Amino acid sequence: MNHWLMKSEPDTFSIDDLKRKKREAWDGVRNYQARNFMRDGMRVGDGVLFYHSNCTEPGIAGIAAVASDAYPDPSQFDPESKYFDPGSSRDHPRWMLVDVTFVKKLKRTITLEELKHHPALERMTLLRKGNRLSVMPVDAAEWRYILDLE
DNA sequence: GCCAACGTTGGC
DNA sequence: GCCAACGTTGGC
């Protein structure tokens, strides 16, 4: 089993939204590296750290799980969607997504600030300078370490 | 709101 | 294929 971190802006879609909806198609990813992680790396049952970005308290807010294989992101075909991609086609879809399901909300948000202070995590992709990926892998050791911080 | 970092676009 | 211009991300 692999582990992942997925970013979401809580004003748009938060861990509480996922808790309420139980399951969500992770649409709108428009970065090739992030797409490749979903398309090629994810398997049903993989664990996901649900990260709140671009907010007052950025950090890991909950746990989710990969719930489907990758399939074409429907929003790329929808001219009304802000994620519409005129360069994509149904025959050759450019963007893929997976469904995720709610596992739990953490008792507290493990903040970005806190993560930065743990030497065990200094090599995390999330913490690398300039990293802007919204979907990224997490080491098994990092995964365990972070869950123990709760 | 600022801005550093990075990805994409498109002229040449 | 280069690279300047532009757009986006996301912490602060």
pLDDT in tens, A81-138: 889 998 888 988 999 999 999 999 999 999 999 999 999 999 999 999 888 999 999 9
Which pLDDT score, from 0 to 100, does residue A87 have? 86
Which pLDDT score, from 0 to 100, does residue A130 have? 86
Nucleotides on strand B lying under 7 Å from protein C-beta: 5-9
Q: What angle do CA A22, A57, A98 make, to 5 degrees?
A: 35
What is the average pLDDT value for chain A, to the nearest integer? 95
The structural domains of chain A, with segments of one domain joined by +, span: 3-145
**What CATH homologous superfamily does A3-145 map to?**
ph1033 like domains (3.10.590.10)
Nucleotide at minimal C1' distance from the A113 CA = C11
Nucleotide at minimal C1' distance from the A116 CA = C11
Three state DSSP letters for A72-125: ECHHHHCCCCCCCCCCCCCCCCCCEECEEEEEEEEEEEEEHHHHHCCHHHCCCH
Task: Return the percentage of chain A with pLDDT > 70, whole number.
Answer: 100
Nucleotides on strand C lying under 7 Å from protein C-beta: 8-12
